[in-house]
Structure 1
Amino acid sequence: ILLQNFPFCIMSVNITRIVLQALREECLSRECNRRQQVIAVLNDVYAAAFLQLYRVWKSQHKTIADSGFLLKELELSAKKKPKQLLKSLEAYVSRSPVADGIQRLSPPSGSSSISAGRAGEEINFTGVCDLQVELEGEPRLV
């Protein structure tokens, strides 16, 4: 089984840059004006961009070597099609697991999950503090 790591922190910094750049270049102005909000729009675009990146990363088995290309694609989406990004996030969040008749499994111990989304698709994250490291032969929490 191939473990497919996702560089959450690095991607988070890059997505923050992309969203702020889209705001500075006035690519998000229409949505900000429509909602009469800026921070909420930035948050939603950030979440939508992260969701898109994560889905592509997992479904196409991407690695860190692919990240430059993926981030460029994501930047184009955020600048040229922000409304489409936001609609995909809205669709993801609005799908009810109860309506689909699927119960979610509990996330592994020590991890958190985003479960408000598509049925059967749960995103689990393990925090750095949850990882065990062997130091001088004894496992301990970092």
Structure 2
Amino acid sequence: MNNILRFLFVMVLCVGLGNAKIWGKNLVQFKNSVEGKQVNIFCKLNNKQLFVVFLEPGEIYDHWFHGQFVTTNKMDCDIRELQYKLVRIRAFQGASGSFDHGKTNYWDIREDGIYFTHGKDIPKLEYKW
């Protein structure tokens, strides 16, 4: 019984130190800040196609999901600007499925590249075109 309580305590502590919420859905948000240009976003979660979306300038797309409990959740996305610029990003990666609840990743697609924040800080350039 003590081992179970220790495990639960460590799990709650780890989730509390991150930006996760216990049993909450994860959010990956994309915003197109490229003036006058549409962007195409194609994403896979754990190598399975999730969504394809076309964002007009100023548009935002939110994707909410529950991670798989046992595996490490990885969301990879190809972001293409219609002038054939292409960037492949890791839009989401969890430590393990049991801790992948309620995380938020915000991606801002700009003229010079792709910016990232968890929502607490100013977005920083993560990927260049």
TM-score, normalised with respect to structure 1: 0.25
More strand by share: 2
More helix by share: 1
Higher relative CO (Cα under 8 Å, sequence separation at least 6) belongs to 2
Q: Which of the two has higher C-alpha Rg?
A: 1
TM-score, normalised with respect to structure 2: 0.27
